[in-house]
Amino acid sequence: MSLDETSVATLRLTFSNSNHQFCCEFQLSETISRFTSHDSRQLRKIVVLKYGKPSMLSVKTFTFNPVQENTYVLYNEAGQCCIIDPGCYFQQEREALKNFIEETGLQPTLLLNTHCHLDHVFGNKWAAKVWDLKLHIHEKEKAVLDFAPQSGEMWQMPFENYDGELIYLKEGTTINLGNDELEIRFTPGHSPGSVCFYHEPGGFVIGGDVLFNGSIGRTDLPGGDFKTLFNSIQTQLFTLPDETKVYSGHGPMTTVGFEKMNNPFVKLY
């Protein structure tokens, strides 16, 4: 297949018809995969020149600790990455995360917590030290972070809590990973200062323990409240496009549309 204006125009049409850059990028990759590698390079160059560099964040998931918590690494094409909720408790879990980052040639620039329950913060101090990072959390989550070691004792999982400088995340603002913006959405209810990180161009949200595939976060822990959680899901997640991928703190990825249709706790239809 040769590369001509028709190919590019068709590609542009796909761009125009979609509200989401991720979908565009996906279409682009699909198309590219049908070209030879030489054509692919040319095509990418032309598209970048005509429409700007597509935003692309990759998402890598690890599942750590006995609570099977999902730790996420988001990274861009420049190799900058962001570690979200490093729940790595055991040595081999920390090595797995470190090996991935090193083998992929990534440089962590951000350390974020969606919230500070025990299972999401085990590896905060370790990650902060290894990559010289400061922890970012919502201010209302500070008390939860402070309580985490006590909680660890209760569960017979002692650990060293992060004790460095805290940078507070504010709802309605964004935080940057290179040129990519993550929108901070305030989603309390499972814990008082839960936040979700929404990447609009990528069509995904890192949701913490707010909404799961077929379930929602528990609300019986300190600072939890069902009505608040329900409201957070309705106003902060169900207002996102249906095709938005939700990467949850536990269990498999889901989408906003799927949960609106099927989630027994919060479904709309």
Binding residues (CB under 5 A) for Zn ion: these are: 117, 119, 209, 249
Smaller CB separation from Zn ion, 8 or 221: 221
Residues 6+ away with beta carbon under 8 Å from 95:
none
58 has which bridge partners? 75
Nearer to Zn ion, 22 or 159 (CB): 159
Q: To the nearest whole angstrom, how small is the minimum distance from the Cβ of residue 103 to Zn ion? A: 27
Contact 247, 207 (CB under 8 A): yes
Closest distance between Zn ion and the C-beta of residue 198, in Å? 19
- Compare residues 36 and 68 and give the one whose CB is closer to Zn ion: 68
Nearer to Zn ion by Cβ, of 204 and 212: the residue is 212
Neighbouring-strand partners of residue 169: 138
Least distance from C-beta 18 to Zn ion, angstroms? 33
Smallest distance from Zn ion to CB 200, Å? 25
Amino acid present at 232: S
Q: Which is nearer to Zn ion, 27 or 228 (CB)?
A: 228
Chain residue at closest Cβ approach to Zn ion:
117
Place of tokens 């597509």: 54
**CA separation for the pair 236, 190 (Å, rounded):** 14
Smallest gap from residue 33 Cβ to Zn ion (A): 36
Q: How far apart are CA 55 and CA 184, in angstroms?
A: 18
Q: Residue 119 or residue 180: which is nearer to Zn ion going by CB?
A: 119
Q: Please provide residue 88's backbone torsions phi and psi, each rounded to the nearest 5 degrees.
A: -65, 120
3-state secondary structure of 180: strand
Using alpha carbons only, how large is the chain's radius of gyration in Å? 20
Here the tokens at position 117 are 């329950």
Pairwise CA distance, residues 218 & 227, whole Å: 12
Output 23 or 216, the one with its CB closest to Zn ion.
216
Report which secondary-structure segment, H or E, holds 184: strand 180-186
Q: Give the whole-angstrom CA distance, residue 145 versus residue 141.
A: 6
> Exposure pattern of 17-32 as b/e (b: 16+ CB <10 Å)?
ebebbbbbbebbeebb
Closest approach of Zn ion to the CB of residue 22, in Å: 26
> CB 114 → Zn ion: shortest distance, Å?
8
